[in-house]
């Protein structure tokens, strides 16, 4: 499966120290599992969580789910050992927190030098400094393992002293600019978590908002959020039908050499063709996963 068509609708965090949750993850309908060593793990559990994350990656059994280890920062007592252990375990990706600039990306990339080639670097975007270095952080992907960003709205809100309002108004500029910078450099980008476990209507609204922004998917903190998130971030039957019609229209001999067409009453240009091809690929990847 090409990386661009890989479904990353839902990425479920869990404390790596929670053996029951990690076991459960092997059966949950999440596209990505994030074994957390950072904020979800108390200081006295950090070493045990690291060992559990490494053991889980080595044991496998996660099927099609991508496995990601989120480490502590290199500026903490645990970061360097977390990164060394994660590099040795070789998950699909290592997610690192509180990256501020391109120098941070280079430092984390260097810390993963011994990791297998398939292990990618993902970074959290969650600091005020990062907000002013989005372009250079994304550009660092050309000379590093960096392939995805994850929004950390909780940490950003904490730094800003902002309120997490239902419409997420305080974060809209950061979310828009982050998607723009990520897209410009071909990165996957996942939205932040919805903290209210029981507020499924609010979750659905922010998932829809995330789709509108262009996020590939959303990070989650509870299995209850998986169904809504997967549904909202999947291409809808209408979108698939429109995309197939656009692809067919551009293939038709009578449209050879044309740049703009009328498809089902709407204009379709070659830029829509590219979008349609990607959407159909994502839909096929999701169908293959379910089937």
Ligand X SMILES: CC(C)(COP(=O)(O)OP(=O)(O)OC[C@H]1O[C@@H](n2cnc3c(N)ncnc32)[C@H](O)[C@@H]1OP(=O)(O)O)[C@@H](O)C(=O)NCCC(=O)NCCSC(=O)C[C@H](O)C(=O)O
Residues annotated as binding site for substrate?
70, 126
Binding residue (CB under 5 A) for Mg ion from 155, 174, 217, 279 = 155
Pick from 26, 106, 185, 222 the residue near ligand X by CB under 6 A: 222
**Residue 16 and residue 53 in contact, taking contact as beta carbons nearer than 8 Å:** yes
15 binds ligand X (CB under 6 A): yes
d(CA 40, CA 43): 10
Least distance from ligand X to the Cβ atom of residue 80, Å: 20
Closer residue to Mg ion (CB): 155 or 191 = 155
CA distance 235 to 277: 12
Does position 82 interact with ligand X (CB under 6 A)? The reply is: no
**DSSP label of 9:** S
Binding mask 135-154 for Mg ion (x = CB under 5 A): -----------------x--
Q: Determine which residue in the list 20, 161, 163, 262 makes contact with ligand X, applying CB under 6 A.
A: 20
Supply the DSSP symbol for 197. T
Distance CA(86)–CA(81), nearest Å, equals: 8
Residue written as tokens 């950072």?
A: 38
**Can you read off the two tokens belonging to residue 257?**
């050499």
The interface mask with ligand X, positions 126-155, x = CB under 6 A, is: x-------------------------xxxx
Which listed residue (7, 8, 36, 96) binds ligand X by CB under 6 A? 36
Instruction: Return binding residues for Mg(2+).
Output: 126, 155
Query: Cβ 33 to ligand X, closest distance in Å?
Result: 8
Q: Which are the contacts of 18, defined by CB distance < 8 A and separation ≥ 6?
A: none
Does 235 contact Mg ion by CB under 5 A?
Answer: no
Q: How many residues bind ligand X (CB under 6 A)?
A: 22
Q: Which is nearer to ligand X, 104 or 279 (CB)?
A: 104
Mark the binding-site residues, compressed into ranges.
70, 126, 155
Give the whole-angstrom CA distance, residue 153 versus residue 263.
39
Residues 6+ apart with CB under 8 A from 276: 242, 243, 244, 246, 247, 268
Q: Which of Mg ion, ligand X, none binds 40 (CB below 5-8 Å, type-dependent)?
A: ligand X
The dihedral through the CA atoms of 28, 227, 199, 157 has a sign that is positive
Nearest residue (CB) to ligand X, 87 versus 130: 130
First vs last Cα of the chain: how many Å apart? 15
The span from the CA of 212 to the CA of 276, in Å, is 16
Interface residue list for ligand X (CB under 6 A): 12-15, 20-21, 24-25, 36, 39-40, 124, 126, 152-155, 192-193, 221-223
Interface residue list for Mg ion (CB under 5 A): 126, 152, 155
């Amino acid at each position: 499966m090409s990386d661009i068509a890989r479904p990353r609708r839902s990425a479920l965090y869990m404390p790596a120290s929670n053996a029951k949750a990690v076991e459960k993850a092997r059966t949950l309908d999440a596209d990505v599992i994030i074994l957390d060593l950072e904020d979800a793990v108390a200081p006295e559990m950090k070493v045990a969580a690291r060992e559990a994350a490494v053991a889980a990656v080595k044991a496998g059994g996660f099927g099609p789910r991508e496995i990601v280890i989120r480490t502590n920062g290199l500026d903490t007592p645990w970061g360097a050992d977390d990164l060394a252990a994660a590099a040795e375990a070789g998950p699909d990706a290592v997610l690192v927190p509180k990256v501020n600039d391109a120098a941070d990306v280079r430092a984390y990339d260097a810390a993963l030098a011994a990791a297998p080639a398939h292990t990618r670097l993902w970074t959290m975007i969650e600091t005020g400094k990062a907000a002013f270095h989005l372009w250079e952080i994304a550009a660092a992907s050309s000379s590093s393992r960096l392939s995805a960003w994850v929004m950390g709205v909780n940490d950003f809100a904490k730094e800003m002293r902002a309120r997490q309002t239902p419409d997420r108004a305080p974060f809209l500029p950061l979310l828009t600019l982050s998607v723009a910078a990520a897209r410009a450099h071909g990165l996957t980008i996942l939205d932040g978590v919805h903290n209210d476990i029981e507020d499924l209507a609010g979750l659905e609204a922010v998932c829809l908002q995330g789709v509108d922004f262009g996020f590939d998917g959303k990070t989650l903190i509870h299995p209850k959020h998986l169904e809504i998130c997967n549904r909202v971030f999947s291409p809808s039957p209408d979108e698939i039908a429109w995309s197939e019609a656009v692809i067919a229209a551009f293939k038709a001999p009578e449209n050879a050499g044309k740049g703009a067409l009328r498809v089902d009453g709407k204009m379709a240009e070659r830029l829509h063709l590219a979008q349609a091809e990607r959407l159909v690929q994502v839909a096929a990847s999701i169908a293959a996963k379910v089937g």
